[in-house]
Amino acid sequence: MATLSLFPLNSVIFPKGRISLQIFESRYVDLIRQCLRQQTGFGIVLIEEGNEVAHKGQKLDIHRVGTYCEVVDWNELPNGLLGVTVEGKRTFSIVESWREKNNLCVADITFRSDDSVDAEPIEIGNEFQEYVELLKGLSSHPMVEDLNIEISFENLREVAWCLAELLPINNKEKQAILEIRDPITRLEQIELYIAAMNQQ
């Protein structure tokens, strides 16, 4: 078990996924500085109820599975705020969470070692090749290219993560996919969402 600072968002990020954040709350500026100084990361979790910007006494419910992320790029934005790009590394489950005095969310978590960028690659079979081609198309979009996501199209884990990251499905569906531990089951669930989109 480990203790991890959390960054609740109205977004879901997967291992290998990247997201750009604009940091303006002091608690998160301090968190990012600490992560850069100590070369460590933090957890991104989907908000179930509440807002990203904290207000005193506000209720904030979060989902119990999130993604450990590390800062891969940062800069000062034209508006003077701190901009960072983070990359998902592995998923985790929350055992218990609480708020610190500065209102930062912290949790005791367990990492899901089988759902990590360091996990053994799984060769993707011919039955999923059409989704590899779909992912190649999605990853060539200029907005995705700007994120510089490195994808191994031969690794079923990465194909499933990145498809879930890039497909236009809602956060509830993405969270359901994130919580699936088996990569083949995850890709099969993505297939169902793709089939549903094709019928619309």
Domain locations along the chain: 2-114, 126-198
- Tokens at residue 115, please? 């759902």
Rounded mean pLDDT, 123-150 = 88
Mean of all residue pLDDT scores within the chain: 89
The reported pLDDT for the residue numbered 57 is: 53
Cα separation, 87 vs 68, whole angstroms: 8
The reported pLDDT for the residue numbered 132 is: 93
- Judged by average pLDDT, the poorest of 56-65, 76-85, 160-169 is 56-65
pLDDT tens digits for range 143-159? 888 888 888 999 999 99
| Architecture, CATH, for domain 2-114 | Roll (2.30)
Instruction: Tell me the fold of 126-198.
Output: Methane Monooxygenase Hydroxylase; Chain G, domain 1 (1.20.58)
Distances (CA, A) of 103 to 26, 34, 42, 115: 10, 16, 15, 29
Rounded mean pLDDT, 86-112 = 93
Residue with tokens 């509440």: 50
Q: What is the pTM of this model?
A: 0.90
The reported pLDDT for the residue numbered 74 is: 86
Give how far the C-alpha of residue 166 lies from the chain's centroid of Cα atoms, to the nearest Å. 11
Rounded mean pLDDT, 62-89 = 90
72 vs 58, higher pLDDT? 72
Residue 103 clears pLDDT 80, i.e. is over it: yes
The reported pLDDT for the residue numbered 11 is: 94
